[in-house]
Structure 1
Amino acid sequence: MKRICRFLLIFGMSLVVSACAQQPLPYADNDAPGFLLGLVHGFISFFSLIGHAVGMDVRVYAFPNSGGWYDAGFVLGCSLFYGGGASQY
């Protein structure tokens, strides 16, 4: 019973905190990042995260982007950098 109460408390708090999240408003841009920039951003995501953590004005994920193709490139870039499913211990 204690585990369930703890889980429900953590779950409820995460819902409350995530309700405050915002995204910047998209603007009309014809040069939105596509597949190739998604690939590059995925490959350098670790370094972007470090830069963002130390206070630089760097975003890990481009917004707005071209949609599904950017997402596919980002995931592929992350997979290439972090080893994907073929990484060994």
Structure 2
Amino acid sequence: MKNLLIMTLALGWLFFLVSCFPGPNSVEKSPSPSGKVAGFWKGLWHGLLSPITFIISLFTKNIRFYEVHNNGNWYNFGFVLGAGLFLRGGILGSRRFRKQRRV
């Protein structure tokens, strides 16, 4: 009975996570009204600012968490890299942090 409950909860959690996946970006690679498309460097900057931007976006309608007028994979890579740098430097930063705690 306990295994059935755990399996049901795990399956429910999996369905919940899958339902949160984003859909396609229909305006990808199309310029914004100002005529610009965000690339890697803009993605990196937006990733670094993402925790602050997220909090502000909860309270205002004019600020968005993610630039939809982007060039695709390079913007996404920059965004993820920037967000990782904000969180202790990503994988390498966490390793360095663990070594410092042991000493």
TM norm. shorter chain > 0.5:
yes
| AA matched with 1:6 | L
Which structure has the bigger radius of gyration? 2
Partner of 2:11: 8
Paired residues, number? 86
Whole-angstrom distance in 2 between the partners of 1:5 and 1:75: 32
TM-superposed deviation, 1:15: 7.1
- The percentage of counterpart residues that share the same residue type is 30
TM-superposed deviation, 1:22: 6.0
Relative distance call for 1:51 and 1:66 in structure 2 (3 A) is same
Using the size of structure 2 for normalisation, the TM-score is 0.64
Could you list the per-position Cα deviations for residues 10-34 of structure 1 after superposition, in whole angstroms to 9, with x for gaps in the alignment? 444x279549x76674173151101
**Residue of structure 2 aligned with 1:37, choices 23, 38, 42:** 42
Q: Which runs of 5+ in 1 are unaligned?
A: none
Alignment of 1:5-84 (within 5 A): 5-12=8-15, 14=16, 18=20, 25-26=26-27, 28-29=30-31, 31-53=36-58, 55-57=59-61, 58-83=63-88, 84=90
Could you list the per-position Cα deviations for residues 11-59 of structure 1 after superposition, in whole angstroms to 9, with x for gaps in the alignment? 44x279549x766741731511011111110000000111122x21221
Q: Which runs of 5+ in 2 are unaligned?
A: 99-103
Whole-angstrom distance in 1 between the partners of 2:78 and 2:18: 32
